[in-house]
Amino acid sequence: MATIDSPNTSTPALLRDDMPPQSRLQRLRRRLWQDDERLIQELQPHLSEPLTRKLELWGFFGFGFGYFSYVNVCASLLLPLLIQGVARDASYLESQPSTRCPADDADIPPGDRCLVPFGWIHVTPTSYVLLVNVVTVWCTIFTTLGISALADHGRMSNRLALTFGIANALVTCLFFIGAVASSVWWICGFFFVIAGIFNGITLNFYDAMIPNLTRFHPSVIQATVEYGAISPQTIQAKVKMQTFLSGGASAAGYAGGLFLTIVVALILLFTDASLQVVGFCTILVGAHIIFWLCFFAKNSVQRTSPPLPPGANWATFGYKRIGKTISKARRLGTLFYFLCTWLVLGDGLSATSNMAILIAQDQLKLDNTSLIAAALIQFVFAGGGMAFWIWMQNSKGLSPLKTVILNAFLFGLIPVYCLFGLIDSSPIGLKYEWELYMLACFFGLFMGAIYSSNRVVYAQFIPTGHENEFFALYEMSSVSSSWIAPLVCSAIVERAGVRHTWWFLASQFFIPVGLLLFVNVDKGRAEGIAFRENEIENLDPQTKPHHSSSV
């Protein structure tokens, strides 16, 4: 484990380079690409692991630019269209199980429904999408919890992130099979489960890079050397860097999503926008992901973590370690309380987006091109929203926690607005195409800031050396709730209609807003430090860090 010497009062302040006059372009290039070599030389002797350099940060953002295309383009847009579309083509009439559903909904007999098999039950194509997501969530939870803690040991985290990221990209390229081969329409649902598992593991490792990159960043090390590891100056430097990394990762992901969505929109615009074309677009997304993961592999730095304990089994170590950590939850009360709020809030975020798409497709009868246009609007406003909220935090002193609370409350107004659609005489409530585009603007403005700032708050509570383990719990908290909303929404759709799901979804935002008001960030940070110090005291003397203060 990398450590740093204890600060002492005789350490001089680190000096900046005296640079000759430079042009504006040269200054920009230096700021973006070049490290301060004098600062590196001053700080590196304090560490046993390499400092974070700018090229490594570009690789981290490149990972986000490429990989988040799966989340922002495939999982949230192309795959719901594809899976529901192939399920609709394979469906049959409820009243006549041997008769395929007509291609046009207007030709379906009154009072009849189109159903598709899901195991031993039969559901509507919309419910089929939701139930496939439920299966994906449970499989993701099981695999992520078992693998994540392994990345906190040895030299595995970056390689595991690349392995599962590329595996997900390859599976993404195979989705087109379900669209071109109608006899195996179910294969889209199967691949969705596999891709979801790989996606959950990859996101866990990616999120865990944020505290690691922060810990070794020159600005944080400089503050630690001069003021101490738990000084207000060091804490402020960490929060600022985590905000930059988390916000930058989200912004890079939305930028990648915007780029690919434009490409996909052009493809659909100049073709017949059929399910086969949507399927081939998934191949494009997979190739895009692989290219940028290779860029990350070239520029990433793998740092060494402690080895697995003697006698530990790699297949069971992750489950045992997380079980032990959860048993000590009372010592990390703020962290686990925060996870509970994220379980509800993350549920609402993913479900609201999916239900808006399903309503637009099922009731507004919008074609794929219109839905792609809505996604483009969302990405454009997401970029502006991320820049605005990062500016609010860095320039106006708005804390990450307050950013989450404010954006969650504003996002909760979206399902409230959609509830007006239940009133027959109401002219609003997601009844017209223009409303979908308007809501896409608000989705972009608030969603990115919630995800980004939430990671920053949570990262401050994690004990050093447990990043992958606790971000596995974070991802589990997010995806484990993602089966609740689809299951509840599926039941509501089957019994009351798709628009009644907004009652449930509204509660998914206002409940966590109330819970987040009681989160004490300083207390949570102190609990994480105390947890780590207690852990070090209980280590074997030969394995204890040699320095008195760890980064």
Output the pTM of the full model: 0.75
> Rounded to the nearest 5°, which phi and psi values hold at 365?
60, 40
Residue 478's pLDDT is: 67
Per-residue pLDDT at 26 exceeds 80? no
Per-residue pLDDT at 441 exceeds 60? yes
Residue 303's pLDDT is: 87
345-397 confidence digits (pLDDT tens): 887 887 787 778 777 877 787 877 787 788 888 888 887 888 888 888 878 88
Q: Which residues contact 387 (CB under 8 A, 6 or more apart)?
A: 251
Per-residue pLDDT at 11 exceeds 50? no
Residue 320's pLDDT is: 79
d(CA 373, CA 153): 44
pLDDT band at 540 (very low <50, low <70, confident <90, very high): low
For the segment 177-196, the average pLDDT, to the nearest whole number, is 87
408-431 confidence digits (pLDDT tens): 999 999 999 988 988 888 888 888
DSSP string for 507-546: HHHHHHHHHHTT--HHHHHHHHHHHHHHHHHTS-GGGS-S
For the segment 541-546, the average pLDDT, to the nearest whole number, is 48
Per-residue pLDDT at 160 exceeds 80? yes
Query: From residue 351, how far is each of 234, 355, 481, 487 by CA, in Å?
Result: 38, 6, 10, 10
Query: What does the domain layout of the chain look like in residue ranges?
Result: 60-103+114-550
For the segment 26-46, the average pLDDT, to the nearest whole number, is 81
Per-residue pLDDT at 198 exceeds 50? yes
> Rounded to the nearest 5°, which phi and psi values hold at 114?
-95, 130
273-321 confidence digits (pLDDT tens): 788 888 899 999 999 999 999 999 999 998 887 777 777 777 777 777 7
Mean pLDDT of the chain: 82
47-89 confidence digits (pLDDT tens): 888 999 999 999 999 999 999 888 888 887 788 888 888 888 8
Residue 453's H or E segment, with its range, is helix 433-459
CATH 1.20.1250.20 is held by the domain 60-103+114-550: yes
Per-residue pLDDT at 504 exceeds 70? yes
Residue 482's pLDDT is: 60
For the segment 263-271, the average pLDDT, to the nearest whole number, is 85
Q: What percent of the chain has pLDDT over 90?
A: 21
d(CA 102, CA 89): 9
Residue 207's pLDDT is: 84
Q: Which of the pair, 25 or 348, is modelled with greater confidence?
A: 348
Q: CA neighbours within 13 Å on the CB side: how many for 244?
A: 17
Residue 16's pLDDT is: 46
332-346 confidence digits (pLDDT tens): 899 999 988 998 888
